[in-house]
Amino acid sequence: MSGGIVTLLSLLGFLAIVVWVFVIKRKADFDEQANLPLEDADKDSESTKRHAETKHGEHES
């Protein structure tokens, strides 16, 4: 009996996720979130470049 309830709750949860992703129009939010790793990579590379330049400048002086 409890196995059936767990299965039903899992199915309802799955259907809720499908509705949330595909029915509710949130394309702008998903696109923004999809680009976050790329923005972080740009910030990290700029930070690393600045750190390397600062470190390089310390060795020359």
pLDDT averaged per 10 residues in sequence order, the chain, 61 residues = 92 93 80 85 71 66 51
Q: Tell me what pLDDT residue 45 has.
A: 72
| DSSP helix/strand/coil, 21 | helix
Q: Tell me what pLDDT residue 56 has.
A: 64
Q: For residue 24, what are the contacts with CB-CB under 8 A and spacing of at least 6?
A: none
Question: Is this structure's pTM higher than 0.85?
Answer: no
Q: Tell me what pLDDT residue 2 has.
A: 85
Q: Tell me what pLDDT residue 53 has.
A: 73
3-state helix, strand, coil in the chain (%, to 5): 90, 0, 10
Alpha-carbon dihedral 19, 20, 21, 27, rounded to 10 degrees: 130
Long-range contacts of 52-57 (CB under 8 A, 24+ apart): none
